[in-house]
Amino acid sequence: MQFLIDFFSTISSSLRTLILASGFVLMWMFESLIPLFRNNTKKVGHTGVNLFFTVTTLIVNFIFAVLLVKASDYTTQHHFGILYLLGLPLWLHAILGFLLLDFIGAYLIHLLEHKVKWMWKFHIIHHTDPHVNATTALRHHPGESAFRAVFAILAVLIAGVPIWLVMIYQTASALLSQFNHANIKLPKGLDAAMQWIIVSPDMHKVHHHYRLPTTDTNYGNIFSIWDRLLGTFVKKDVNQLQYGLDIYPEEDAHSYLPRLLKIPFERYRAPAGSKFGGLPGAKSKGDYLNPEYSDSNLGSS
Ligand SMILES: [Zn+2]
């Protein structure tokens, strides 16, 4: 434990970037060896767009890191936060701190992003990815990266978490996110067993289905327990899934950078079938789909 504390107390941002890059390379290999969807090709344009947003996410996180470290140091110096109030032994403080960072800093903010209109408009670009793979993990609009960072700081202040634990959580979170977005097919039993504790690749793919109510399920980041406890856990056959969003069938909303950056500032589009608006001229769910955007594009394996 002392080794972990020492290592993560002083971990440099270049080493964390290296870990992130190694995760990408590892997932890239697995995606080639055991792909879930075979025609989920690694197109240069697709990877380029997702890596652009990965870089902007890293930049936003780098800016907020100053506040995150300050918040964490404050809780350590003043024994501020729920976990310090409880006066727990270090190992239990660490486990519960890790869990609370995942609940407040990942599950809760993700749930809000789906329920609060202006937040959703930023989160949309994560969901318009038609080829979900490891590079989708950090495909977040810079605006979304900012309010995720604010929630990470809130989580630290509420729970009371030392900086080494924040670093362990954030490193694990980035790697797990790459893993559950990766276009990989694990043995069914293994994937199902994982879902009892962590968010498996099959479990998270369900969240990327193109229409409600499936999009509003499986919000978890590392642990699946929050979805199970709060009734948002859903199991579906991954071969029946279609990635993307029904309300954004247009190609440039998937892969054209200037459009993706602009989406949060465009008019809100209500979900398919809603009487509150939606795509101009759309009357029924079917109107949201164009012929190029059908199940046949997904393929199965
Ligand atoms: Zn989402």
Length of the chain: 301
Write down the pLDDT at residue 204.
94
- List the end-to-end C-alpha distance of the chain, in Å, as a whole number: 43
Tokens standing for 156? 């630290």
Per the confidence metrics, is the pTM higher than 0.95?
no
Rounded to the nearest whole angstrom, what is the distance from the C-alpha of residue 86 to the centroid of ligand 1? 33
Rounded to the nearest whole angstrom, what is the distance from the C-alpha of residue 126 to the centroid of ligand 1? 7
User: Comparing C-alpha atoms, which of 158, 175, 177, 155 is closest to residue 166?
Assistant: 155
**In the block, residue with structure tokens 């504390």:** 5
Rounded to the nearest whole angstrom, what is the distance from the C-alpha of residue 5 to the centroid of ligand 1? 32
Q: Is the dihedral of CA 73, 74, 77, 80 positive or negative?
A: negative
Rounded to the nearest whole angstrom, what is the distance from the C-alpha of residue 177 to the centroid of ligand 1? 12
- The alpha-carbon radius of gyration of the chain (Å, integer) is 19
User: What's the mean pLDDT in 67-89?
Assistant: 91
Rounded to the nearest whole angstrom, what is the distance from the C-alpha of residue 1 to the centroid of ligand 1? 34
- pLDDT at 301 exceeding the cut of 80: no
Rounded to the nearest whole angstrom, what is the distance from the C-alpha of residue 85 to the centroid of ligand 1? 33
Q: Which domain holds residue 29?
A: 2-297
What's the pLDDT tens digit per position in 161-208?
999 999 999 999 999 999 999 999 999 999 999 999 999 999 999 999
Rounded to the nearest whole angstrom, what is the distance from the C-alpha of residue 65 to the centroid of ligand 1? 23
Supply the mean pLDDT for the chain: 84
- Count CB-CB contacts under 10 A for residue 58: 17
* Cα–Cα dist 176/223, whole Å: 10
In single-letter form, the type of residue at position 268 comes to Y
What's the pLDDT tens digit per position in 98-115?
999 999 999 999 999 998
Cβ neighbors of 87 (< 8 A, separation 6 or more) are: none
Tokens standing for 16? 């964390």
What's the pLDDT tens digit per position in 268-293?
887 764 443 344 444 444 444 433 33
Rounded to the nearest whole angstrom, what is the distance from the C-alpha of residue 10 to the centroid of ligand 1? 32
- Domain total in the chain: 1
Write down the pLDDT at residue 42.
64
